């Protein structure tokens, strides 16, 4: 059951990443590129967690990838809203 | 260390959802709404992670619920990406 859910989450994240990549290509707005990278990193994070043995000691380290992905989203929002000179 | 990483994941995801939904309220760009909704679900996912690993490390196993929350989080985003653009 859990493996199936992980597979679905990884697929959904990758699809979202690909859509954002397409928006980036069609608009040239790097806001979408950051979103694409964030969802791709989320997919990688879930894939690694799914492949890892449950409750291994280095588990928290995998979540740094997730944290970096969220950081990309925050940076994208900051980048979009900062005043242009 | 683990507690800090999990807490940062939860805080950044909540910050992302707040900023995205605030952005939607300001400019009405619907993709921000779907992204914000996605991050609300991912925040739930990360809060469940803290409950599962830090607050109740041995007494409960919330893995399936965490995965369900993450999958449900991604579905409105996929809907938005497919139908809105």
**ipTM score assigned to the predicted complex:** 0.87
* Cβ–Cβ below 8 Å for A46 and B16: no
Contact B64 A64 (CB under 8 A): no
The answer to whether residue A46 neighbours chain B at the CB level (below 8 Å) is yes
Domain boundaries, chain A: 2-81
Cβ of B54 under 8 Å from any chain A Cβ? no
Question: Band of the pLDDT at A50, cuts 50, 70, 90?
Answer: confident
Alpha-helical (H) ranges within B1-85 are 2-27, 30-50, 63-83
Which range, of A71-75, A80-84, B53-57, averages the lowest pLDDT?
A: A80-84
Kindly list the residues from chain B whose CB atom is less than 8 angstroms away from the CB atom of residue A73: 16, 20, 39
Among A50-64, B25-39, B40-54, B67-81, the least confident range: A50-64
C-alpha pair distances (Å), A63 with each of A43, A72, B3, B10: 12, 14, 11, 11
Q: Return the CA Rg of chain B.
A: 14
Q: What is the reported pTM? A: 0.89
Tell me if chain A has a CB within 8 Å of the CB of B39: yes
Closest partner residue to B85 (CB to CB) among A23, A59, A77 is A23
Query: How far out from the chain centre does Cα A55 lie?
Result: 22
HSE-CB of B25 using CA atoms within 13 angstroms: 8
CB neighbours (10 Å) of residue A76? 24
């Amino acid at each position: 059951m859990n493996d199936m859910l992980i597979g679905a989450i990884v697929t959904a994240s990758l699809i979202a990443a690909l859509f954002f990549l397409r928006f980036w290509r069609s608009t040239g707005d790097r806001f979408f590129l950051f979103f694409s990278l964030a969802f791709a990193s989320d997919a990688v994070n879930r894939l690694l967690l799914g492949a890892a043995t449950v409750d291994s000691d280095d588990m928290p380290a995998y979540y740094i990838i997730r944290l970096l992905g969220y950081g990309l989203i925050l940076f994208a929002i900051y980048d979009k809203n900062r005043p242009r000179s | 260390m683990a507690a800090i990483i999990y807490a940062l994941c939860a805080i950044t995801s909540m910050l992302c959802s707040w900023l995205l939904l605030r952005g939607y309220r300001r400019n009405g760009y619907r993709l921000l709404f779907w992204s914000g909704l996605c991050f609300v679900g991912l925040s739930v996912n990360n809060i469940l992670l803290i409950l599962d690993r830090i607050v109740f490390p041995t007494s409960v196993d919330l893995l399936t619920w965490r995965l369900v929350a993450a999958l449900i989080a991604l579905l409105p985003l996929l809907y938005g990406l497919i139908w809105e653009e």
